[in-house]
A = this chain, B = another copy of it.
């Protein structure tokens, strides 16, 4: 690597090489969760660790850091160039606090934990995952202390996914959100809504083809991406020209693949919309995970569970699945796909109870991070919180604390971005409707052009030059808050 940064072009070329390495690592991860043979977990973990360690070494190289600081001080830079350099410098501060061996350890530990989690989930046996998870939690506590924090170690981890967010902010948002949601859940879950027809037999191949059709219809570009099968749906990218999503198909549950596909597609549209000409630069990188999640929740829920959307798509869907849906009219279908009821699986939860799933994970993570809770006690604590907030008894570990992949990746601090993203989605959706008065009618005609162009201008094109609150302030004139989400829900369920 040529480490001496003299001008913006050197800076750009250096970031491209780091992006190349991160892109390669992402492909190794994608492969690990889709096609990798069983017995190669150890060497794959080793390979990923080397790539992470190298990317880290490059990103924190002394000459590079010096060059970067000199570049930031140059008066010849244009404003947008300065903004890029500024963000790179800011993120560097975090990286400089972690040593390359620590980064490699963490990468290796999470590859190993991922494989242990898969096994544990399949066998419904927390013991198979416990040791690897303890190892990871200890590393994350170490990370929090290396990074440094005010108030709570959790803040150091949150910062990776949503820079600037704190437990104080989150506690506040949840305090505003949950009691109001609780009332709505109590009211709405009493309604008799039948969704049995979503649980008839929907053949795998037909579902797969239908997800591909949905992806095309909302603008996913298959020349710059693909969909595959994995045990936990995810989206990943190696550049904005290669954005991949995965789905899983449950033949007894039509909802599973359909809305997880729309969800991942939201992530993918964002990544495909980033400017390839600035590959590697902050302006060509997603803002925060909360903003990323705002895109997925937007397409999954604001669009994908709306009457307008299915007004356009439902007739065709009925024709594709006449036995399963032939006798169900659009209104019944819309009610069913928006049915509110406490349940065990986060990714299958309705838009309201969803936030309790997130909050429970957030609570457990905070407790793990400040050592109030031991890893071995997670299952008990999990079940206790599900009973407290959702009033349900968790039947087994696979539908309980082993359901999500995140902890096996060491992604502590990640879950809250799901709630933040949902709130942001409603906030963006409110603005779009105000800017484009006919947008709902356009959706009724399968036309998403105004949505795409608004997102492009206000979200995609800003890249990582702004984090959650500043980006929302620019796009919607307000920082992130709960009121648009509550209004969106009340409007959907016609509650005054």
Contacts and interface: CB of A to CB of B under 8 A. Distances in A.
Nearest to A224: B39
A169 interface: no
Interface string A30-42: 0100011111101
Given A1-B57, A31-B31, A54-B54, A24 B38 contact: no
Contact of A31 (B17, B27, B46, B241): B27
Interface in A201-229: 221-226, 228
A46 to B, nearest CB: 6
Nearest to A35: B226
Contacts of A224: 37-40
Given A28-B27, A31-B27, A222-B37, A241 B42 contact: yes
Contacts of A47: 20, 23-24, 238-239
A82 interface: no
A276 B43 contact: yes
B23 A241 contact: no
Given A223-B37, A242-B37, A24 B43 contact: no
A16 interface: yes
Interface string A5-38: 0000000000011001101110110010001111
A229 B280 CA distance: 32
Contact of A37 (B49, B50, B225): B225
B50 A17 contact: yes
Contacts of A1: 54, 57
Given A28-B27, A54-B54, A20 B37 contact: no
Nearest to A225: B37
* Copies of this chain held together in the complex: 2
Interface string A235-264: 000110110000000000000000000000
A84 to B, nearest CB: 19
A152 interface: no
A51 interface: yes
Contacts of A35: 226, 228
A412 interface: no
Contacts of A333: none
- Residue from the set A17, A40, A228 with the largest chain B CB neighbour count within 10 Å: A40
A420 to B, nearest CB: 30
- Residue from the set A222, A241, A276, A279 with the largest chain B CB neighbour count within 10 Å: A241
Contacts of A27: 24, 27-28, 31
A232 interface: no
Contacts of A381: none
Contact of A242 (B17, B20, B36): B36
Contacts of A221: 39
A276 B46 CA distance: 13
Contacts of A16: 46, 50
Contacts of A31: 27, 31
9 contacts: A21-B51, A21-B54, A31-B31, A37-B223, A37-B242, A40-B238, A40-B241, A43-B239, A43-B279
Q: Which 8 A-B pairs have the closest CB atoms?
A: A40-B242, A20-B50, A43-B239, A40-B241, A20-B47, A39-B223, A38-B223, A39-B224
